[in-house]
Amino acid sequence: MNHETALTPAPIELRLNDINQLFNSLDPTPFPEKELDVDAEDFIVSWAMELPRDEPLTLIIHLAKPPDKDKDETAMNDAVRNFFNYRANLAAWKNRQLLREGWKNLGIGLVFLTGCLFGAQLLSNIEDGTLIAIVRESLLIGGWVAMWRPMEIFLYERWPGKRKQELYIRLSKMPVKLSLLSKRSPDEI
């Protein structure tokens, strides 16, 4: 009998004086749709990138003062999940745009490469000379160089965006826990 053990979520911990520090103060949208502060987002994302991809995450926010009544743990879960869900959707859209560009560039590159190969073949039927050889080789090189951008997209650029999308999906599922920092008396310092 196979028993699966639940993985303990890896904590991402933030210490804030006030819960409002987590959010972009210039964002006029209502609370659950507010954007996270850029520094807070970068901190959370970079911490999550350090952790194994298969490990579940939890965000623990240590607060110096209690949050407003409308910003309890449930509201924080919703706000953080909404934000990272939005980021995941945005990353998916960017990935689709990049793939469209890749396919378009591949079509253009193949047409150009085909033209260059035909041109080089026609030139090879002409009597050899230095100038003809230079033009023929230039056509071959130019045709293959035209294939660089689509290959760069499909082989290299696509994967970081895909990993970022997966990370945002993972962050959009992470629970948020609030924790009040205990006040120390001057004797404890």
Predicted pLDDT at 184: 54
In which element (H, E) is residue 16 found?
strand 10-16
How far CA 153 is from CA of 116, 138, 142, 148, 161, in Å, comes to 22, 24, 18, 9, 11
Q: Does residue 186 register a pLDDT over 60?
A: no
> Is residue 61 classed exposed, middle or buried when 0-12, 13-18 and 19+ CB atoms within 10 A define those classes?
buried
Q: Does residue 133 register a pLDDT over 50?
A: yes
Q: Does residue 189 register a pLDDT over 70?
A: no
Q: Lowest mean pLDDT: which of 92-96, 165-169, 183-187?
A: 183-187
Q: What percent of the chain has pLDDT over 70?
A: 91
CA 39, CA 143: separation in Å to the nearest integer? 45
Predicted pLDDT at 100: 97
Token reading at 16: 């804030």
Taking every pair of Cα atoms in the chain, the longest distance, rounded to a whole number of angstroms, is 96
Most confident of 6-20, 127-141, 144-158: 144-158
Q: Average pLDDT of 63-92?
A: 87
Give residue 6's pLDDT band: very low, low, confident or very high (50, 70, 90).
low
Predicted pLDDT at 3: 47
Going from N- to C-terminal start, the domains of the chain cover 10-188
Tally Cβ neighbours within 10 Å of residue 54. 7
Q: Average pLDDT of 113-126?
A: 91
Over its C-alpha atoms, the chain yields an Rg (Å, rounded) of: 27
**pLDDT tens string 137-175:** 999 999 999 999 999 999 999 999 999 999 999 999 999
Give residue 183's pLDDT band: very low, low, confident or very high (50, 70, 90).
low
Q: Lowest mean pLDDT: which of 25-29, 36-40, 107-111?
A: 25-29
